[in-house]
């Protein structure tokens, strides 16, 4: 069972390049047709330095480019069969656009037991910095771990 001793624990940083092809595939999958997300001229007209990424793309980018996408589960000895994705949030401090190279630095922010220890909520916050050292975003995900009983 995961306890308070893991709060503050950091995991391997992930570096990812925002590539137009992968982003286009993401938009096609979502059915996104807004020209700001597809046309550099429309993006510039919208006030962006380049084609921006949508808020949820950072989560995908971090997972796609991680050498070990579920490193925190292994590091904290959590069985993936007991895990549910509880919540995801994004706080942007600056735009992220095609061509950026991002570094993701995840760490455990909190551990909370619920239902008399039947489940544990683990909050992982990831600071995202671009190639210029600008802190562009923070992502937070809450992982729910079912404790005890059959998987």
- Summarised one tens digit per residue, pLDDT across range 16-73 is 999 999 999 999 999 999 999 999 999 999 999 999 998 889 998 998 888 888 898 9
Residue 26's domain comprises: 4-146
Residue 76 lies in a domain: yes
Of the chain, the percentage scoring pLDDT greater than 70 comes to 98
Q: Does the residue 8 lie in any domain?
A: yes
Assess if residue 125 is contained within a domain: yes
Q: Output the furthest CA–CA distance in the chain (Å, rounded).
A: 56
Q: What confidence score (pLDDT) does residue 21 get? A: 92
| Backbone phi, psi, residue 128, to 5° | -120, 125
Would you say residue 151 lies in a domain? no
C-alpha–C-alpha distance, residues 33 and 128, integer Å: 26
| Whether residue 1 has pLDDT greater than 80 | no
Q: How confident is the model at residue 117 (pLDDT cuts 50, 70, 90)?
A: confident
Domain count, the chain: 1
How many whole angstroms separate alpha carbon 16 and alpha carbon 101?
Answer: 6
Question: Does 22 map to a domain?
Answer: yes
Does residue 93 belong to any structural domain of this protein?
yes
Is residue 92 a part of any domain in this protein? yes
Find the CATH number of the domain harbouring 83: 3.10.129.10
Mean pLDDT of 82-92: 94
> Is 141 within a domain?
yes
Q: Which of 8-12, 53-57, 88-92, 119-123 has the lowest mean pLDDT?
A: 53-57
DSSP for 119-146, written as a single string: EEEEEEEEEEE-TTS-EEEEEEEEEEEE
Instruction: Calculate the average pLDDT of the chain.
Output: 92
Phi, psi of 83 (to 5 degrees): -105, 140
What per-residue confidence (pLDDT) applies to 13?
96
pLDDT greater than 70 at residue 149: no
pLDDT, average across residues 81-89: 93
- pLDDT score, position 150: 53
């Amino acid at each position: 069972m995961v306890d308070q001793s893991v709060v503050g624990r950091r995991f391997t940083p992930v570096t990812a390049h925002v590539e137009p092809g992968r982003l286009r595939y993401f938009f096609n999958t979502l059915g996104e047709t807004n020209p700001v997300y597809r046309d550099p001229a429309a993006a510039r007209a919208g006030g962006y330095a380049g084609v921006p990424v949508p808020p949820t793309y950072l989560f995908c980018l971090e997972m796609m480019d991680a050498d070990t996408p579920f490193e925190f589960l292994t590091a904290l000895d959590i069985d993936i069969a007991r895990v549910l994705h509880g919540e995801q949030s994004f706080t942007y401090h600056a735009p992220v656009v095609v061509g950026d190279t991002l570094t993701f630095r995840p760490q455990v922010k909190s551990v909370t037991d619920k239902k008399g220890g039947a489940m544990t909520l683990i909050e992982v916050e990831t600071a995202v910095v671009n190639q210029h050292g600008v802190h562009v975003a923070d992502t937070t995900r809450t992982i729910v771990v079912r404790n005890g009983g059959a998987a």
